[in-house]
Structure 1
Amino acid sequence: MIKKIIFTISVLIVTAGGLYFLFLRQPANQQPPNNQINYKSGISADWKNYKNQQFGFEIFYAPQYPLNQGASQRFNVSEFFVGQGDNIVTISLPKNSYPGTNYYDGFLTVSAQLQSSEASCRQAQEEGNTQIINLSPYKTISGLEFFSGESNGAAAGTLAKNKIYHAFINNTCYEITLNLFEGNIGNYPAGAVSQIDEADVFSKIEAVMVTFKITGSPIAQTPQSEQTPEQFVKNYLDAYKNIAAKKNFAEIKSFLTVDALDFMQSENIPLETNYTQFDSYQVLSVQNLGNHWAANVKLYSNGEIIKKPDGNAITQIDIIKENNIFKAETWYFTQ
């Protein structure tokens, strides 16, 4: 019998991204080679650190900036690779950053394409668009060499401006996109809002971009398109186990959905005393229940099964699959 829901967890395994808008192609802005970009970073001691061991990088961001795994939860901008890649993490400016303006959203997304080539990394392509963007020659951003370009578009009264940066490192094409969405100022009543200062938006997310650092080579894994639910459960538990062992709460939070974090905050449930550490696990079964999968799992610490003071153990993880995406939905206390 289900006793209590702990929290909702979302980990995305993406086989194909999607664009929310149909972008209108504009030529990439050409820049002179070896253009140095060294923005004066606003990083301070309270900035958080996001590390990703699987893809071998880290990045810092201000504590008030929402972070989520995968693509933006507000505007679904896919990666700009020629071929399939992975949206890894998105860092956004707060929703209320520019009140009284036509600002919708500003965010940075880090993506990667494993086993890529330098020739492919020098190009970009919007999903669903056959036209290839030839990126500009090298730009050096905080010591890393990037190819760069832009993609601007419009749809449904919204303007999108995307700056694209690709770096070929360790046979991997890393992509950082800086994205700004704003309302068409001509669609507002006269004087209702002011035009967003685009340069200011980009300066804030550029300050995050320049903290990007390669920490190691990507870890080879089964292609996501071939992963079974059983493999997903094991990969998820391995990743969570390593992060929880370090007590890196910023990274643990990245495993939680916005709804889960809001629920914990509303119920005054501190993450620091309400997370699970384990050193081994056993996946007993993964059942297809129609609209979701139910994984029965035992978690162990020092050889003993983990139980709560009332005797209940965390044994079930619900997984849903939407548009070829597996999500770890909910952990349950079960008898």
Structure 2
Amino acid sequence: MNSLDGTVLVTGGAGYIGSHTVRSLREAGRDVVVLDSLEFGRREAVIDAPLVVGDIRDQDLVTATCNEHGVTQLVHFAAYKAVGESMEQPARYWRNNVAGTVDLVEACLASGVNDIVFSSSCSVNGTPAVNPVTEDAPIQPESVYAESKAMVERILYWYGQTSDLRSVSLRYFNAAGASFDGRIGEDWTHSQNLIPLAMKAVLLKDRRLSVFGDDYDTPDGTCIRDYIHVADLADAHVKSLDYLAAGGATTAVNVGTGIGSSVYDVLEATAAAAGEPVPYDIAPRRAGDPVATFAEPSYAQRTLGWSAQYGLTEIVDTAYAWHKSQVELGR
């Protein structure tokens, strides 16, 4: 049986990027089952896919889920992702992100699942010496979180050498935005990302945004990042599964737009969406913040047939509409 004919197991599918990917898979006609602990995920974000509540380290549960639902492919999002916390509680990240992935992969292999799309991160490259960042840039993580992603990439590579497993590690740049119909989006409760924080500052009148440094060697003095719409990111996962089903070899792929946007660019776009300026203060630079990082996306186009369809305007407009709706609902 072609692996596209079976079900996709999505770990962490009740989370932000996971839920958008589940939706894209369903729209592509794929059967999906979600495994999520709901520690950070939201049950309602899964919408119409079956949800199994549990842990990726529970091999019996993973095996039973694969067998019951006829799983043939895996998309693996489930991981802790707070950089600061990873430096304070490293064992939490080694156990869940690294050892947990080994448990998950072993259970999947035992169930005949050999195609894996892994949620990696551009943070595996640390502070890049050259922009745009290509896939052969040095792997030099600067946090336990980033190291956990780099480790899993290597683990998947070696599984590919010792078994029939093949994988695509997608190195995300800065995922942002919400669904265009406003049905699902990012929970800003725990987010430390710029766009949700800018939304908080403009929608909640009791706070201001901190801009960490305005004296960098960039056109406007603020840091530059590559923001990618979550809908584009979800599409990259669907195309990665198609690539593996067609016999594609294990690889790592940068997923970004190739366009760098500064902090002030984001604030201007947010002000345009909200019809009012974002209140902010200049704060000292943060240690470890790269001056600029953005992707060279041509390998994704060549390998997966994927390229970003949306830019900063769509990202900020959908994010603003989503967060405004949540504030109005009292969430």
TM-score range, shorter chain: under 0.3
| Structure of greater Rg | 1
Larger strand percent: 1
- Bigger relative contact order, structure 1 or 2 (CA pairs below 8 A, ≥6 apart): 1
State the TM-score, normalized to the length of structure 1. Answer: 0.26
Larger helix percent: 2
State the TM-score, normalized to the length of structure 2. Answer: 0.26
